[in-house]
Amino acid sequence: MFKLDMQSRVPIYEQLKNKIYELAVLGQLRANDQLPSVRNLARDLGVNPNTVQKAYQELERENIIYSVTGKGSFLSAKLDTQLERQYLRKISAAAIQARQCGVKLDLALDTIRRTYEGEEIL
């Protein structure tokens, strides 16, 4: 279920977060599905439990997952809204950087449109 690239420059906890997002978006994880325990997932992945705990803590802070004492961590029912907000924040940050670098609005909007339509850009 969770495969990570140990050679990647992306931190393991970040890869784990991204994988949970991906599985949720693809429908392989659904609202209120229970995630593996920190200890079990760390053992299965061969990573330190603190790494898994950090990913889970960040996901919980972002309201992507929630914890029930004594039961574990679960995917939030509000996932779609949370993911949408998160990605809109990323788009907003990218738009600010593009504006500061002199990218024209028409070009930025055209790039977003073409990307949405599945065209490979650059």
Shared domain check, 73 and 101: no
Claim to verify: residue 37 and residue 55 sit in the same structural domain: yes
Give all strands (DSSP E) within the chain, no chain letters: 65-68, 72-75
3-6 own/partner pairs: CB under 8 Å, 24+ apart: 4/45, 4/47
Pair (16, 60) in one structural domain: yes
Inside any domain, residue 86? yes
Mean pLDDT of the chain: 90
Mean pLDDT for the stretch of residues 67-71 = 94
Please give the structure tokens belonging to residue 107.
């070009």
Please tell me the least confidently modeled range out of 15-19, 76-80, 104-108: 76-80
Query: What domain range is 84 assigned to?
Result: 80-116
pLDDT confidence of residue 74: 96
75 neighbors 37 (Cβ within 8 angstroms):
no
Same-domain status, 55 and 99: no
| 30 and 70 belong to one structural domain | yes
Between 35 and 78, the more confident residue is 35
Same domain, 25 and 47: yes
Check whether 88 has a pLDDT greater than 90: no
Which pLDDT score is estimated for 66?
A: 94
Q: What is the CATH number of the domain that holds 36?
A: 1.10.10.10
For residues 89 and 109, membership in a common domain is answered with yes
The arithmetic mean of pLDDT across residues 106-114, rounded, is: 93
Is the predicted pLDDT of residue 58 greater than 80, yes or no? Answer: yes
Q: What confidence score (pLDDT) does residue 122 get?
A: 66
Which residue has better confidence, 6 or 13? Answer: 13
Q: Are the C-beta atoms of 13 and 52 separated by less than 8 Å?
A: yes
Q: What is the mean pLDDT of residues 74-89?
A: 79
Is residue 107 one of the residues assigned to a domain? yes
The answer to whether position 96 is within a domain reads yes
Q: Examine the pLDDT at 80 and tell me if it is beyond 70.
A: no
Residue 92 belongs to a domain: yes
- Tally the C-alpha atoms within 13 A of residue 74's C-alpha that lie toward its C-beta: 12
Q: Are 101 and 91 spatial neighbours (Cβ–Cβ below 8 Å)?
A: no
Supply the pLDDT for residue 6.
Answer: 87
